[in-house]
Amino acid sequence: MKPEYKKKTIRSYVIRGGRMTDGQKNAFDQWWPVYGLSLFDGEISPAEIFEREAPLVVEVGFGMGDSLHEMAAADPDKDFIGIEVHPPGVGRLISLAGASGLSNLRVFMADAVDVMSDCIPESSVDRFQLFFPDPWHKKKHNKRRIVQPAFLQQVRRILKADARFHMATDWENYAEYAMDVLLSAPGYDNTSGESCFAERPAYRPKTKFEARGERLGHGVWDIVFSKVNEC
């Protein structure tokens, strides 16, 4: 399977050509009909998809899916939708979900901007997660960073009142940049106080990569803002 997306000039990611394992390939055959959602089916109804009313968490860029799987398994009273463009990570996540028998997880293999625009209903999301996005650290590539004013307003559209936007990054420059953009974004409020970073919430698992970075003295910055109504 290939990721779904519309044509646009600037993307926040590059499709990597990593090879899928046999297990990941088999996961698409066995589990995609259970967990997969299509961009081209249009706006979803979370209550119909999950067959219940429950708080909804949306995560963009879940990588290989380990932390999203862990969160969904640890919090069965919430429903989770993951959005990722890289097939190996999608294959691994749905394989893990199938083996665990998770019923509170669904996946788009598509461009996140397209999914938010066409598929996620307005004011339907209780928490939006963006963990360790590509920092595009070279100045000439900063325009590719996913955290931009227009993106934040797309996120805000799908958030419920008082819902949370949660970003984590291990690049201090990106953390400072994202903080500045969020502080300037209409309709957002920093839950930790002006210009302050948040403590890692208990629901966000600490990845092996993060733990290794901490041992080497690398930092991780969490940013948690809430949606507020504009006057």
What does the pLDDT read at residue 215? 83
Strand 159-169, strand 221-227: pairing: antiparallel
CATH of the domain at 143: 3.40.50.150
Q: Does residue 151 lie in a domain region?
A: yes
Q: Does residue 10 lie in a domain region?
A: no
Report the percentage of the chain scoring pLDDT > 90: 75
- Mean pLDDT lowest among 1-10, 182-191, 202-211: 1-10
Q: Which pTM value belongs to this model?
A: 0.91
> What is the arithmetic mean of pLDDT over 14-27?
74
Residue 21 has pLDDT above 90, yes or no: no
Residue 9 has pLDDT above 80, yes or no: no
As a whole number of angstroms, the distance between CA 106 and CA 82 comes to 6
Q: Does residue 181 lie in a domain region?
A: yes
Which three-class secondary structure state does DSSP give residue 60?
strand
What does the pLDDT read at residue 173? 92
As a whole number of angstroms, the distance between CA 104 and CA 211 comes to 27
Q: Which residue has the higher pLDDT, 70 or 22?
A: 70
Q: Is 162 a catalytic residue?
A: no
Q: Structural domain of residue 214, as residue ranges?
A: 22-227
What does the pLDDT read at residue 92? 96
As a whole number of angstroms, the distance between CA 50 and CA 74 comes to 17
CB atoms within 10 A of CB 6: 12
Residue closest to 200 by CA, chosen among 208, 188, 215, 210: 210
Residue closest to 91 by CA, chosen among 73, 105, 109, 113: 109
What's the structural domain count of the chain? 1
As a whole number of angstroms, the distance between CA 210 and CA 64 comes to 14
> From the candidates 75, 114, 126, 134, which is the catalytic residue?
134
Q: Does residue 84 lie in a domain region?
A: yes
Q: What is the pLDDT of residues 38-79, one digit of tens each?
A: 999 999 999 999 999 999 999 999 999 999 999 999 999 999
**Distance from CA of residue 8 to its chain's centroid?**
20
Q: List phi, psi (to 5°) of 175.
A: -60, -45
> Computed from CA positions of residues 176, 161, 202, 111, in that sequence, does the dihedral angle turn out positive or negative?
negative
What pLDDT band is residue 189 in, cutting at 50, 70 and 90?
A: very high
As a whole number of angstroms, the distance between CA 160 and CA 122 comes to 8
121 and 109 Cβ atoms separated by less than 8 Å: no
Q: What is the pLDDT of residues 128-165, one digit of tens each?
A: 999 999 886 666 646 879 999 999 999 999 999 999 99
Q: Does residue 85 lie in a domain region?
A: yes
Q: Does residue 12 lie in a domain region?
A: no
What pLDDT band is residue 213 in, cutting at 50, 70 and 90?
A: confident
Residue 11 has pLDDT above 70, yes or no: no
Residue 15 has pLDDT above 70, yes or no: no
Q: Does residue 16 lie in a domain region?
A: no
Q: Does residue 32 lie in a domain region?
A: yes
Residue with tokens 């219940």: 52
- H or E element in which residue 184 lies: helix 172-184
Report the percentage of the chain scoring pLDDT > 70: 91
As a whole number of angstroms, the distance between CA 21 and CA 230 comes to 48
